[in-house]
């Protein structure tokens, strides 16, 4: 057998073993449930990943909800796309970043009013996927009662998926989540002086 044929054969055997292993793991995962997905960390990609899952869900015809707890300076493409979509109920907190309002009382009032929309969605069994974008900050800043938030998440319909984003997720959220990813900042163009780019950043 020449070198090339031997290499192809070894590759085929390795792939057969890999396939057997993966097929076994796929067969073993036989549970369906509403997942709590937590996307945290200081790198870019948390909200855009959450909206990627929203796009997938809408593509499958699932009823979805979005609650954005921090309103950015720029109107996000995802809001323009999904705001009037018949399958998506979209709520955005009516204040800007907390370092822009600089008013704790006003921030708390807005957080509590915005959370009420999240609670309505979390109680609605017809809503299959909910994005709670930047929710972690509401807990870190102490704007929302953590017990209330955790209870509402725990008591939601069993088949409802929830995706939470934001830096510095607290330990209690990590514990109740099914899937947790930490996006790590390796580098970000903003730190080299590149301003926010339409489509990529908002």
Q: Which stretch binds ligand ATP (CB under 6 A): 23-31, 37-45, 57-65, 88-96?
A: 37-45
Cβ at position 202, least distance to ligand ATP in Å: 6
- 136 near ligand ATP, rule: CB under 6 A: no
Judged by DSSP in three states, 186 sits in coil
Are the C-beta atoms of 67 and 94 separated by less than 8 Å?
no
Q: Which stretch binds ligand ATP (CB under 6 A): 36-44, 90-98, 111-119, 141-149?
A: 36-44
- 190 near ligand ATP, rule: CB under 6 A: yes
Q: What is the DSSP string of 23-43?
A: HHHHHH-------EEEEESSS
| Contact flags string 51-80 toward Mg ion, x per CB under 5 A | ------------------------------
| Contact flags string 154-183 toward ligand ATP, x per CB under 6 A | -----------x-x---------------x
- 202 near ligand ATP, rule: CB under 6 A: yes
Q: What is the DSSP string of 68-133?
A: ESS--SS--HHHHHHTT-TTEEEEE-SS--HHHH--HHHHHHHHHHHHHHHHHHHT-TT--EEEEE
Q: Which residues share a beta bridge with 179?
A: 37
Out of 39, 41, 47, 169, the only residue in the binding site for Mg ion (CB under 5 A) is 47
Residue in 175, 163, 109, 168 with CA at minimum distance from that of residue 139: 168
- 44 near ligand ATP, rule: CB under 6 A: yes
Neighbour count for residue 36 (Cβ, 10 Å): 21
Q: Which is nearer to ligand ATP, 48 or 83 (CB)?
A: 48
Cβ at position 74, least distance to Mg ion in Å: 13
Q: Which residues bind Mg ion (CB under 5 A)?
A: 46-47
């Amino acid at each position: 057998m020449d070198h090339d044929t031997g290499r192809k054969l070894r590759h085929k055997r390795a792939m057969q073993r890999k396939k057997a292993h993966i097929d076994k793991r796929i067969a073993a995962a036989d549970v369906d449930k509403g997942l709590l997905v937590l996307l945290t960390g200081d790198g870019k990609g948390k909200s855009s990943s959450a909206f990627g899952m929203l796009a997938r869900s809408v593509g499958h015809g699932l009823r979805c909800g979005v609650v954005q707890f921090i309103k950015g300076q720029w109107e996000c493409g995802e809001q323009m796309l999904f705001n009037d979509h018949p399958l998506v109920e979209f709520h955005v907190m009516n204040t800007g970043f907390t370092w822009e309002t600089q008013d704790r009382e006003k921030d708390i009032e807005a957080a509590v009013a915005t959370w009420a929309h999240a609670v309505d969605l979390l109680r609605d069994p017809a809503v299959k996927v909910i994005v709670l974008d930047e929710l972690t900050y509401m807990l870190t800043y102490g704007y929302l009662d953590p017990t209330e938030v955790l209870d509402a998440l725990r008591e939601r319909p069993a088949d409802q998926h929830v995706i939470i984003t934001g830096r510095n997720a607290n330990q209690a959220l990590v514990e109740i989540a099914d899937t947790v990813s930490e996006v790590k900042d390796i580098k970000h163009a903003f730190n080299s002086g590149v301003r926010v780019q339409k489509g990529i950043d908002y």
